[in-house]
Structure 1
Amino acid sequence: MSSATAFYLLSTLGGYLVTSFLLLKYPTLLHQRKKQRFLSKHISHRGGAGENLENTMAAFQHAVTIGTDMLELDCHITKDEQVVVSHDENLKRSTGVNANISDLKYCVSIKMRDKLIPGAYWGL
């Protein structure tokens, strides 16, 4: 390999490494920093599932009381197109009944509330 080719390869590799380092260290050289629409320091997943029965009004109210900035919940649609708040599509973990919410009518799924298992989040 000639010295001119070696110089070209080394300078190309060096330029690539310097450019990569600079863009990794200062990504705003290419992209503007996104403005946050709101400041959120504390998000209660499922209303704070570890502290209350998940996705319940009691859990959401407790989370707001302790100062959460955002509540997170999951919704699913029943067979008759009603919205149900549940983390899982399948009810096995939370009620012990192996059924999908999308396969049940709302009147049947609402009866599952009595079967909710406290602590099901940890598999207890």
Structure 2
Amino acid sequence: MSTSAAIYLLSTLGGYVMTSFLLLKYPTLLHQRKKQRFLSKHISHRGGAGENLENTMAAFRHAVNMGTDMLELDCHITKDEQVVVSHDGNLKRSTGVNVNISDLKYCEAKVKEKTNEFHY
């Protein structure tokens, strides 16, 4: 390899490395920072799980009364294509019954959770 080819190769590689580092460190040089349409400082997952029975209207009302900015909930679809609000796709943790929500019809998916048990 000639000296001029080696210099060209090293300068190209050096320029690539420097450009990559610069764009990694300062990505806003290429991409503008997205404007936040909604500033959320506090999100209540499952309506504030641990404070009330999760994913219930009581939990969501309590979270709103406590000043939450956003409510977050998880939905699953039953066998007959109805929407059920539940964090887990399986009812074992909340009801003690080891069955998937997608395997049940809506009329079979009854709320059985009565207490607020904590599992750490």
The interval holding the TM-score normalised by the smaller chain is 0.7 to 0.9
For structure 2, which runs of at least 5 residues remain unmatched after alignment? none
The corresponding residue for 2:42 is: 42
Contact 2:50 2:116 in 1 (8 A): no
Contact 1:94 1:116 in 2 (8 A): no
Q: If each structure's helix is expressed as a fraction of its own residues, which one has the higher value?
A: 1
CA shift in 2, pair 1:116/1:94, >3 Å? farther
| Partner Cα distance (2:63, 2:77) in 1 | 25
Letter in 2 for 1:114: K
Contact 1:95 1:115 in 2 (8 A): yes
| Partner Cα distance (2:9, 2:90) in 1 | 57
For 1:1-124, what aligned pairs fall within 5 Å after superposition?
Answer: 1-110=1-110, 113-116=111-114, 118-119=116-117, 122=119
CA shift in 2, pair 1:115/1:64, >3 Å? closer
Contact 1:90 1:100 in 2 (8 A): yes
CA shift in 2, pair 1:46/1:84, >3 Å? same
**SS in structure 2 of the partner of residue 15 of structure 1:** helix
**SS in structure 2 of the partner of residue 114 of structure 1:** coil
TM-score normalised by the chain length of structure 2: 0.85
Cα RMSD (Å): 1.9
For structure 1, which runs of at least 5 residues remain unmatched after alignment? none
Letter in 2 for 1:68: T
**SS in structure 1 of the partner of residue 84 of structure 2:** strand
Letter in 2 for 1:119: E
In the alignment of these two chains, the number of paired residues is: 120
Q: Percent identity?
A: 80
